Amino acid sequence: MPGAIYAEGLVKTFGDVRALDGVDLDVPEGTVLGLLGPNGAGKTTTVRVLTTLLQPDSGRAVVAGVDVLRHPEKVRRSIGLSGQFAAVDEYLTGRENLQMVGQLYQMKAKAAKVRADELLERFRLADAADRTAKTYSGGMRRRLDLAAALVVSPPVMFMDEPTTGLDPRNRQALWEVIKELVAGGTTLLLTTQYLEEADHLAHDICVVDQGKVIARGTSDQLKAQTGGERVEVVVHEPDMIAGARGVLGRYGIAGRGPDEVSVEDHTRKLTVPVSGGAKLLAEVIRDLDAVGVEIDDIGLRRPTLDDVFISLTGHAAALTEEENGGPPEADGRGRRQTKETAK
Amino acid sequence: MSTMNDSLVIARRNLIRMTRIPEMILFGLIQPVMFVILFTYVFGGSMSIGGSTDPDVYKNFLMAGIFAQTVTFATAGAGAGIADDMHKGLIDRFRSLPMARGAVLTGRTLADLVQTALTLLVLAIVALIIGWRPGYAEPTNFGRVMAGFGLLLLLGYAFTWIGALIGLSVRTPEAATSGGLIWLFPVTFISNAFVDSSQMPSWLQPIAEWNPFSATVQACRTLFGDPGVSPSDAWPMQYPVWASLIYSVLIVAIFRTLSVRKYRRADG
């Protein structure tokens, strides 16, 4: 039986640009799927198709057990959408916004008002309930937008870049809200450009690039694909680098000795791929001490999703942030060039 | 789901918005009042209506034209409002909700209708103050005068649907405002609104006489008992009330269909 969100072979072209090039998804009920990718990768287009806003050229999608293309009106009763542009009416108050959305979900005026008050309380907006959304901060607007998507407690939620443009504190706060939501059993599809966010919130991750899913799995599985863990050491004095290198060479996973250790002279940082986890660190520290190497810092580094992204696409996710807002064609070309230089 | 209910929820939302931006209502009122005063006192003395150059005749002739032009300007407001909703992502939110498909647009046009009625009321009072007298040329009564305002509101409502289609078709509210206004100038000026159309070049006359806008102006003059009712043989000039009704209903039917279809497919 397909999951709460299921898609098969979604294709959508805009002119010459293939925004979706055969996207398949399967999100089991009550789980979170993170759709991770740079701008123009096809994340938003996927969400627009699944939320009935956009007709795909081909493919099939089922949300909450209903065929999206055949019965879009039924799908709309079971979904909540929270977009990256925080779609609330800025001239209405927070309460008026939520009440309106409730009524448009076909609630009676009174029930919509009661529900609006509940949500305002829950999203810490009760004090600002009677102020127009125009006066809200970015974080408050996002919370109001999210509340609007939750008016009928839909079983399936879509969030398109929920924290883009938020400062770290507000991002953290929104993450807590999202986690609570998922703990309550909601199935969630979340798009993000932030690797950290996907790592933090999603059970499963699909990495998308140029309209295709290029990798999928749990955060740990994706990291394992990229390679294992490394020990990083920063020594106190430049003349200690050679000694440290000799020690670290003994722990190299390939057994090639000091050759396996990479050195950054200006930061006095040495890195070596290892296996064995945290208990290895104690041994390394003891051995370094034995040869008289003083260290400023030592750590076991596991690959981040950033590393995953680079190894999968040949470019860092962050690179494309500079291309924000550019036309999709330019976006595609820009990325291809980056890839070639990287090779 | 109920189209009427959803439309009223959206209409209410747009009316609340309008009260939160009172300067928009104010500018909407100042503009037609300015037109009344400028046309009456600047052009009034040099216009000949039905052979009379009496400024009083022109004043009474002019009002139906200004009223009609004012109601059509609601087009720009509707277009800008809808374009703004598209731009800000509100249309996406509405389209993802289990609500009636036409309600977002119907609600907006209904809210604009309320604003148009308010503008018309203020304008009628100003017109009465500066000397417009229903029944100046022909006898009339309260019912006929109200019927005239009814036709004006219907024309305004019809034109907001044209605005809706413009709003859905352009990228920004600014474009919707200018796109909603530009074509209104030829439509309202190549008509019987401000001058006696029998004095236009002969090739322009039929355009003015068959202009849907002229039908409503002629109908209002007839119903208000104003001077300067065109004696033209053109059908809309002979049966202006019917012509005005038919034109307005047709415009609503055509542009509502096109707009709702565009709304359903809106790809943002």
Are B13 and A101 in contact (CB < 8 Å)? no
Residues forming a β-bridge with A35: A191, A206
Whether the CA torsion A123, A126, A128, A132 is positive or negative: it is positive
Residue B193 pLDDT more than 90? yes
Predicted local confidence at residue B9, as pLDDT? 96
Predicted local confidence at residue A86, as pLDDT? 63
pTM across the whole model = 0.81
Is A51 at the interface with chain B, CB within 8 A?
A: yes
Predicted local confidence at residue A87, as pLDDT? 85
| Tens of pLDDT, residues B58-104 | 999 999 999 999 999 989 999 999 999 988 889 989 999 999 989 99
Q: What is the mean pLDDT of the segment spanning B28-38?
A: 89
- In angstroms, rounded to a whole number, what is the distance separating the alpha carbons of residues A277 and A300? 7
Are A53 and B95 in contact (CB < 8 Å)? yes
Percentage of residues in chain B having pLDDT higher than 70: 99
- Which of B10, B89, B265 is the closest to A87 by Cβ? B89
- In angstroms, rounded to a whole number, what is the distance separating the alpha carbons of residues A65 and A192? 25
Nearest CA in chain B to A56: B267
Predicted local confidence at residue A338, as pLDDT? 32
Query: Quick one: pLDDT band at residue B210, thresholds 50, 70, 90?
Result: very high
Percentage of residues in chain B having pLDDT higher than 90: 74
Closest CA–CA distance from residue A329 to any residue of chain B (Å) = 18
Is A96 at the interface with chain B, CB within 8 A?
A: yes
Tokens of B38: 């400028």
Q: What angle do CA A319, A322, A327 make, to 5 degrees?
A: 110
Contact B57, B237 (CB under 8 A): no
Closest CA–CA distance from residue B6 to any residue of chain A (Å) = 6
Query: Quick one: pLDDT band at residue B1, thresholds 50, 70, 90?
Result: low
Predicted local confidence at residue B47, as pLDDT? 85
Are B16 and A92 in contact (CB < 8 Å)? yes
| Residue ranges of chain A whose pLDDT lies below 50 | 318-343
DSSP run (H or E) holding B138: none
Pairwise pLDDT comparison (A319 vs B178), residue with the higher score: B178
Predicted local confidence at residue A85, as pLDDT? 66
Q: What is the mean pLDDT of the segment spanning B27-42?
A: 88
- Which of B5, B13, B88 is the closest to A85 by Cβ? B88
